[in-house]
Amino acid sequence: MSGHFESHFPDSGHVDYSDQSSSIDATTIAELKELAGRYPQSRSALLPMLHLVQSVDGRVSPRGIEVCADILGISTAQVSGVATFYTMYKRRPAGTHHVGVCTTALCAVMGGDILLERAKAKLGIDEGQTTPCGRVSLERLECNAACDYAPVVMVNWEFFDNMSPETTDELLDALMNDDEVASPRGATLTSWRAAERVLAGFPDGRADEGPSAGHASLLGLSIARENNWGAPDPDNLPAPAETQEAK
Amino acid sequence: MSLDAKSAPAEVAKKPDLVNLTIDGTSVSVPKGTLIIRAAEMIGTAIPRFCDHPLLDPVGACRQCMVDIPDAGNGRGFPKPQASCTMPVAEGMVVKTQMTSAVADKAQRGMLEFLLINHPLDCPICDKGGECPLQNQSLSNGDGESRFGALKRTFPKPVSISAQILLDRERCVLCARCTRFSEQISGDPFIELVERGALQQVGTYETDPYDSYFSGNVIQICPVGALTSAAYRFQARPFDLVSITTSCEHCASGCELRSDHRHHQIKRRLAGNDPEVNEEWSCDKGRFGFMYGRGNDRITRPLVRRDGVLQPASWPEAIDVAVHGLREAGSRVGVLTGGRLTVENAYAYSRFARGVLGTNNIDHRSRPQSDEEADFIAAHVAGRSLADSVRYADLDAAEHVVLVAFEPEDESPIVFLRLRKAVRNGTLRVTTIAPFASRGSEKLSAELVAVAPGGEAAALSGLELGAGTIILVGERAATQPGLLSAVSAASARSGARLAWIPRRAGEVGAIHAGCMPNLLPGGRPLADAAARVDVASAWGASTLSGQAGLSADEQLRAAASGELLALVVAGVDPADMGHADEALLGLESAGFVVSIEQRESAVTERADVVFPAALMEEQSGHFLNWEQRQRDVAIVVKDTRSPMTDMRILAALADAMGSDLGFRTPAAARADLAELGTWDGHRAASPTVADPGHVVGTADGLVLASWRQLLDASSGNDHELALRATARPAVARVSPATANALGATDVVCVTDGRRRLMLPLLPTRDMVDGVVWVPMNPGIGQGERLASVPGTVVTVDVVPVDEGVAS
Amino acid sequence: MTDLLTPVMSSDWDSDASWKLSRYEEVGGYRAMRKALDMQAGDVMSLVKESGLRGRGGAGFPTGLKWSLVPQDNPNPKYLVVNADESEPGTCKDMPLLMASPHTLVEGIIISSYAIGANTAFIYIRGEVLHIVRRLQQAVEEARAAGYLGANVLGTGFDLNIIVHAGAGAYICGEETALLDSLEGRRGQPRLRPPFPAVAGLYASPTVINNVESIASVPSILDNGIAWFQSMGTEKSKGMTLYSLSGHVKRAGQFEAPLGVTLRQLLELAGGVRNGHQLKFFTPGGSSTPILTGDHLDVPLDYEGMAAAGTMLGTKALQVFDETTSVVRTTLRWVEFYKHESCGKCTPCREGTWWLVQLLMRFEAGTAEPGDVDKLLDICENIGGRSFCALADGAVAAVVSAVKYFREEFEQGYTTPAWELFPYGKSALFATEGDPR
């Protein structure tokens, strides 16, 4: 697979100016200013501020760019340069739930390619699109640092591990039906916008949900426990590790 | 401490710390910190490059300039080729460029191949074709054929990034010279790299185009044809153009320009390369503002008023009429030369007035002026040379610059760039005494001392100045009585150096030529008998009149009153005068007006005889910029539509009057003036006009603050629509408190009793209360140009929204 | 001789609520911090320097040495920035650590900041890991409430603020200077060096940038001493580290072991390659490290061992692929990753990956032409070592090492699509019907 090479870019270089809608109000502006105030130099807050813009407008809106530029005292072009650089910033409204299927080499080989095709077919949309009902948007992801759980699907940046076509179907059905879904290594799903708000730096109080670790994260530890292995006792260190070297 | 001990370290510091290295087997010594790419230039080796530019911070982005470094100076080499544009030399370093290293050569060929895989190769239809670094270096350092047989990246093209500049993203090699220029040099970060990876491109934000007075520079430094101007796009091929080095006629910054012409017509102008003045930059007015002589209003034949109507006439007839009128007037004549002449032409007027007409009534100042200013000029500007004046290099080295009645970005843009460079280097602090922090001041991170016009003198006396300070004072200082006296006093008191920077290119030269009522050529005080003897003997005259001359304002007033019977007027727009209505009345009422002009104007309309004068591009000569530096003007267009220069016309008039101007070519005039030399006698004293304090805005009116923005309705910008379209929008500024007092509104009408200007209101942070600022010459569509000078009270009325919209 | 596995940072990941401050302190958390704050800052730095701890983010630069490069006489504030932008394909060690035990990092930050004299520290974490961001945010708040952060930490006069900063999707921000630009609210593009971050980093001030695992290793070193730390690992690669095993193995997961363990040992613990299959190739430390094959199962997974095998230890992300895998396909996907993540700043990376992807697509589709393998290698030669940062070198490493070990498979791309040679469905971890193309 991989036949998705694009070479013509008719509409690149900017956010979607045709959609001028925005829900940014005085509260949002106050929060944006609060973010700017958290850093030794305010411009450092730009990435979090754009996350917050997304949580309010469902995308990086033109007004969001203008407000950020105004608060930080930089040009709109400078904000636009940042907003178009990072892949988490969306040009068009994402769905209530944003689904990403990892298709970097390992996940792709382990089945991620199949899962992405399956999700596209099931949702009836292409990557980068949102279902007409607005519930789910879909994208192809690059490696999400969960390779020991491959193939991996992300929903609102929560992990869904060791996915198969069947579990992917179930997940998508649940999302489309607005059923409650919990990440096996995270919290109960809220929405992509709510997630963006947390990423902006406004916690949602869900940190204590979910487990300490997934099964793969614990594999080595459980083997060590089974074998009674561990780090040396600092008060009773083993002889220097020449033997280890000799192996 | 002995003198030696004091001077020795300075002597040592002057000598650059030299580093010895070997490039392609040749030993070379260069100052410490020199980049390898430039060290290679010293031995004549051009390493190909795109992103590298000596005036921009190194970036190392294009990777074209790879060289092999078998020894970094520490006995160890780099395993891989290195970018020579980011690496400084080191003692004992060994560098092998493409000339001697197969590795470097292959790296460079590989890079060119990469740069071309997504390039459209549309050289035959590209403006840059023929002068394109990508094209040239592909031929000199690349392979003839590409191995790329796949899909190229394509974009819709071109996109306008401003009214003047177009961007073709397919041609762009992402060297970021343009974005670095806009951020680092001019401080206008409205073009930015956007997107990333293979999709990375230069972009703007939709509602904020690339708004910069210096935007044309990005076209010039673009190493491909990605950036083009609406003005020059598809106008010519570089190899069909003839390039002439000349100087800009617009402002006193004194830029060297390269003027490219074909078929006896200038096709474009580029910044020249003069490290001591404009470095490699120019402003957009200088670059694009050369179309003003192309309109139907160009005068190409003499005109004589017959039966109240100006009609074409032969040269002999026009000269006869002029001579007749001037003879009638005798010495009751005034000469207004304007501030745009070459030194040679100005000198011709000076000698014509004093030597031929026998009057000291000559003044070049076609703007608000004062006797205090004339005294200030005599004391601080006249008779100076480059050697004893503040220079650009002094701005680089200054600790503190104080701007008084001077907005460098608008009024002398290259001075602005120099100041910004020093501020960015962290060596310079700028203070501006102004009603608000202009965009230019903000880009200089200037400390604002917010005062209403008229408050500058008091503010200046409150500043801590030292010997490391330079005071830059603008021509607008003449509008505030006592200010130039205060500036002189502040300089004398503190040891701060002082420079007066007028707007127009010809002002300093006109002063040197003696186009001032109180000054003879060479800065000689008219009141000094020895000075008059100097000039009289040089001109072969028995004596020169010592009677004080009339200033431009006084001449126009005297013409209205009948005290003067005739006026000889060169490039003057009466609307520029401090008393515009009086000026018009003076021209209207004058018994006889001789106009020597390039284009129809308010003066030619009122003239009795009009002589067509050559454009700047059609003649040679020189200007003196604000530093007193000679800036040579060369003939660019030889097939002229009006072959007579001001000087030739004056020489013909002198001949016809039975006199002799003494020269009739620029070279002869220059030699004549040089022979006369500069005054070495007693210099006039600084003015000591007391500060009357400033007017205060009241409920009935606000104090007017105003200056000319760089791009405005100036006739110098005529016929260049894209340039005009990039002008900053005209607004009226008041402080937020003053805005509140006016009542919330979007549009105001500013009235000075005679004229009305309707402008959007822009409440401006940190602006002084009780003041309204408007651009001095906003142009059509905004209402009329106010006739008041800064510091007077004007009426500001709220405009109901519907009316505002309708206007 | 130490045990095969030595869980230290991961030793409490299996307890309930391991991420909470209360639990962390129950198992000795923040003891090392108190110990450090009782010492002179310079002594803390010396201790870490002498421990031999080397950066766990890929390059293996000695951590203590990095700290000592900060000019202490520089008048600007000093900053510690933790690189939690874990994005290198195959790498998945920092995220579980931060999810299960964020306080290990917070404690490490307090000690490290104290050592270098920083009063503000940043955790730059990739944005696409919501729950881990939550856990970090909460851990920082808990530590603040406990008096471990803020003004005058535990009455020592030391002030420290930690800012948790979520990125927004850019692999390049794992490159430390790109990270700094990103943290300054700019496009994450690498900066020119010199100046090095230690001298002029964040806000042009002295800055230390360390990987999560490097900083998380610090509390245990303080707590247990240099000798303890050096009792693990090999001569030049000291201590314990997290190895991540993924791909076609029976059980994938994290293994905290002394540096120098071999893949054979780890594979054994993981139950070997999945049933009925054999190892074909693996990455030792993420996609940027040249691949190895079954011939390298016994090479010690430490900095020196990997260098000797012509590759790098990298992030110790062992991605294992079995014989069903098309190396052409895998290589293409890795290069697609680098093309996608190229920041665009420099020519060879931006244009080279654009070209490589198109060329590799032809190999995959069986439409490459004879000679294209050499062309591929030559393009790689023109990219490798010529680009601004190491990102493109990663792409080149993937291609060149794949061709080195599997040239004939690329040559088959002159005639036969990869999906015919290696039906893709067979590589998937679940049963599939038909061809997933």
- Rounded mean pLDDT, C90-108: 98
Residue B287 is assigned to a structural domain of this protein: no
Contact list in C for residue B199 (CB cut-off 8 A) is 344
Record the tokens describing residue C53, joined without a space. Answer: 């701890």
pLDDT of residue B787: 84
Assess if CATH 3.10.20.600 describes domain C240-322.
Answer: yes
B186 DSSP 8-state letter: S
Q: Which residue in B467, B469, B488 sits closest to B477, CA to CA?
A: B488
Q: Which CATH number is B105's domain given?
A: 3.10.20.740
B197 DSSP 8-state letter: G
Contact list in A for residue B196 (CB cut-off 8 A) is 84-85
| Same domain, yes or no: B317 and B417 | no
pLDDT grade for A54, boundaries at 50, 70 and 90: very high
Q: Which CATH number is B710's domain given?
A: 2.40.40.20
pLDDT of B464 over the 80 cut: yes
Residue-wise pLDDT for B242-269, tens only, equals 999 999 999 999 999 999 999 999 999 9
Contact list in A for residue C252 (CB cut-off 8 A) is 147-150, 216, 219
Contact list in C for residue A165 (CB cut-off 8 A) is 430, 432
Residue ranges matching CATH 1.20.1440.230 in chain C: 327-427
| Partner-chain residue, chosen from C100, C163, C256, that has the shortest CB–CB distance to A39 | C163
Q: Which residue in A86, B557, B532, A242 sits closest to C230, CA to CA?
A: A242
| Same domain, yes or no: B473 and B532 | no
Q: Which residue in C49, C197, C202 sits closest to C115, CA to CA?
A: C49
Q: Which CATH number is B179's domain given?
A: 3.30.70.20
pLDDT grade for B693, boundaries at 50, 70 and 90: confident
Contact list in A for residue B151 (CB cut-off 8 A) is 5, 7
Burial of C144 (0-12, 13-18, 19+ CB in 10 A): middle
- Rounded mean pLDDT, B415-433: 98
pLDDT grade for B745, boundaries at 50, 70 and 90: confident
- Rounded mean pLDDT, C227-241: 96
Q: Break chain A into its structural domains and give their ranges.
A: 26-83, 97-191
Handedness of CA B659, B660, B664, B670 (dihedral sign): negative
Query: What pTM did the predictor assign?
Result: 0.95
pLDDT of residue A238: 81
Q: Could you tell me which chains touch chain C, where touching means 3 or more CB pairs under 8 A?
A: A, B
C76 touches chain B (CB under 8 A): no
Residue B9 is assigned to a structural domain of this protein: no
pLDDT of residue B752: 87
Nearest CA in chain C to A164: C430
A73 touches chain C (CB under 8 A): no
- Rounded mean pLDDT, A61-90: 98
A42 DSSP 8-state letter: G
Per the model's pLDDT, the better-predicted residue between C98 and B683 turns out to be C98
pLDDT of residue A133: 96
C195 touches chain B (CB under 8 A): no
Instruction: Assign residue B151 a region (left: φ > 0; alpha: ψ between -120 and 50; beta: otherwise).
Output: beta
pLDDT of residue C433: 56
CB atoms within 10 A of CB B386: 14
Domain final residue pick, B461, B487, B502: B502
Measured distance CA(A9)–CA(B418) in Å, rounded? 40
pLDDT of residue B805: 46
| Same domain, yes or no: B496 and B538 | no
Domain final residue pick, B94, B116, B138: B116
Burial call B532-543: b when 16+ CB within 10 Å, e when fewer: bebbbebbebee
Q: What's CA C227's distance to the chain center, in Å?
A: 26
Amino acid at C333: R
A194 touches chain C (CB under 8 A): no
pLDDT of residue B784: 77
C187 touches chain B (CB under 8 A): yes
pLDDT of residue B782: 66
Distance from the B83 Cα atom to the nearest Cα atom in chain C, whole angstroms:
8
H-only helix segments in C250-389: 263-269, 303-308, 327-341, 347-365, 372-383
Measured distance CA(A156)–CA(A137) in Å, rounded? 10
| Same domain, yes or no: B230 and B124 | yes
Nearest CA in chain A to C254: A217
Q: Determine if the peptide bond prior to B223 is cis (ω within 30°).
A: no
Record the tokens describing residue C394, joined without a space. Answer: 């990663």
Are A80 and B205 a contacting pair at CB < 8 A? yes
Distance from the A211 Cα atom to the nearest Cα atom in chain C, whole angstroms:
7
pLDDT of B807 over the 50 cut: no
pLDDT of B180 over the 90 cut: yes
Residue B606 is assigned to a structural domain of this protein: yes
Measured distance CA(B575)–CA(B572) in Å, rounded? 9
* % of chain C exceeding 70 in pLDDT: 99
The answer to whether residues B305 and B609 touch, using CB atoms and an 8 Å cutoff, is: yes
Residue-wise pLDDT for B281-322, tens only, equals 999 999 999 999 999 999 999 999 999 999 999 999 999 999
pLDDT of B2 over the 50 cut: no
As a dihedral over the C-alpha atoms of residue C142, residue C145, residue C147, residue C149, rounded to 10 degrees, the angle is: 60
Distance from the C129 Cα atom to the nearest Cα atom in chain A, whole angstroms:
5
pLDDT of B191 over the 90 cut: yes
3-state secondary structure of B129: coil
HSE-CB at C270 with a 13 A cutoff on CA atoms is 31
A175 touches chain C (CB under 8 A): no
Per the DSSP assignment, residues forming a β-bridge with B566 are B333, B592
Nearest CA in chain C to A215: C253
Residue-wise pLDDT for B349-378, tens only, equals 999 999 999 999 999 999 999 999 999 999
- Rounded mean pLDDT, C130-144: 98
Are A215 and C253 a contacting pair at CB < 8 A? yes
Are A9 and B205 a contacting pair at CB < 8 A? no
Classified by CATH at the fold level, domain A26-83 comes out as: Arc Repressor Mutant, subunit A (1.10.10)
Per the DSSP assignment, residues forming a β-bridge with B758 are B749
Structural domain of B576: 303-367+508-676
| Partner-chain residue, chosen from C5, C77, C428, that has the shortest CB–CB distance to A220 | C5
pLDDT grade for B800, boundaries at 50, 70 and 90: confident
A17 touches chain B (CB under 8 A): yes
How do beta strands B227-229 and B524-525 pair? Answer: unpaired
Measured distance CA(C348)–CA(B289) in Å, rounded? 40
pLDDT grade for C409, boundaries at 50, 70 and 90: very high
Superfamily of domain C21-230: NADH-ubiquinone oxidoreductase 51kDa subunit (3.40.50.11540)
Q: Which residue in C314, C242, C315, C248 sits closest to C96, CA to CA?
A: C242
Residue-wise pLDDT for C322-342, tens only, equals 999 999 999 999 999 999 999
| Same domain, yes or no: B662 and B542 | yes
pLDDT of residue B643: 80
pLDDT of A152 over the 60 cut: yes
Average pLDDT, chain A: 95
Q: Which residue in B150, B292, B88, B466 sits closest to C363, CA to CA?
A: B150
Residue B139 is assigned to a structural domain of this protein: yes
pLDDT of B639 over the 90 cut: no
pLDDT of A1 over the 50 cut: no
A39 touches chain C (CB under 8 A): yes
HSE-CB at B109 with a 13 A cutoff on CA atoms is 17
Interface test mutation site (partner C, options A88, A97, A104, max chain C beta carbons within 10 A): A104
Q: Which CATH number is B483's domain given?
A: 3.40.228.10
pLDDT grade for A244, boundaries at 50, 70 and 90: very low
Classified by CATH at the fold level, domain C327-427 comes out as: de novo design (two linked rop proteins) (1.20.1440)
Measured distance CA(B161)–CA(B151) in Å, rounded? 27
Residue-wise pLDDT for A3-52, tens only, equals 579 999 999 999 999 999 999 999 999 999 999 999 999 999 999 999 99
pLDDT of residue C1: 76
Query: What secondary structure does DSSP assign to C148-181, as a single string?
Result: SSBSSGGGSS--BEEEEEE--S-GGGGSHHHHHH
Residue-wise pLDDT for B319-354, tens only, equals 999 999 999 999 999 999 999 999 999 999 999 999
| Same domain, yes or no: B533 and B427 | no
Distance from the B410 Cα atom to the nearest Cα atom in chain C, whole angstroms:
30
| Same domain, yes or no: B540 and B663 | yes
Contact list in A for residue C4 (CB cut-off 8 A) is 227, 229
pLDDT grade for A243, boundaries at 50, 70 and 90: very low
A182 touches chain C (CB under 8 A): no
| Partner-chain residue, chosen from C170, C347, C359, that has the shortest CB–CB distance to B111 | C347
**Is residue B194 within a helix (H) or strand (E), and if so which, with residue range?**
strand B192-194
pLDDT of residue B14: 55
* % of chain B exceeding 90 in pLDDT: 90
How many structural domains compose chain B? 5
Residue ranges matching CATH 3.40.50.11540 in chain C: 21-230
Q: Which CATH number is B525's domain given?
A: 3.40.50.740
Residue ranges matching CATH 3.10.20.600 in chain C: 240-322
C336 touches chain B (CB under 8 A): no
Average pLDDT, chain B: 94
pLDDT grade for A2, boundaries at 50, 70 and 90: very low
Contact list in A for residue C94 (CB cut-off 8 A) is 145
pLDDT of residue C325: 98
Domain final residue pick, B116, B132, B151: B116
Contact list in A for residue C255 (CB cut-off 8 A) is 219-220, 223
Residue-wise pLDDT for C103-122, tens only, equals 999 999 999 999 999 999 99
Amino acid at C50: E
Per the model's pLDDT, the better-predicted residue between B541 and C127 turns out to be C127
Interface test mutation site (partner C, options A193, A244, A245, A247, max chain C beta carbons within 10 A): A244
Amino acid at B676: L
Measured distance CA(A116)–CA(A138) in Å, rounded? 9
| Same domain, yes or no: B539 and B671 | yes
Contact list in C for residue A145 (CB cut-off 8 A) is 86-87, 91-92, 94-95, 126, 129
In Å, how far are B86, B417, B420, B428, B445 from B424, measured between CA atoms?
Answer: 20, 10, 6, 8, 9
Q: Which residue in B51, B152, B382, B641 sits closest to A7, CA to CA?
A: B152
Distant-in-sequence, close-in-space partners of B582: CB < 8 Å, separation ≥ 6? B553, B556, B557, B560
pLDDT of residue B786: 87
Q: What is the dotted CATH code of the domain comprising A97-191?
A: 3.40.30.10
pLDDT of residue B8: 43
The answer to whether residues B53 and B177 touch, using CB atoms and an 8 Å cutoff, is: yes
pLDDT of B1 over the 80 cut: no
Contact list in C for residue B86 (CB cut-off 8 A) is 192
3-state secondary structure of A101: strand
Q: Could you tell me which chains touch chain B, where touching means 3 or more CB pairs under 8 A?
A: A, C
pLDDT of residue C436: 46
Nearest CA in chain A to B154: A8
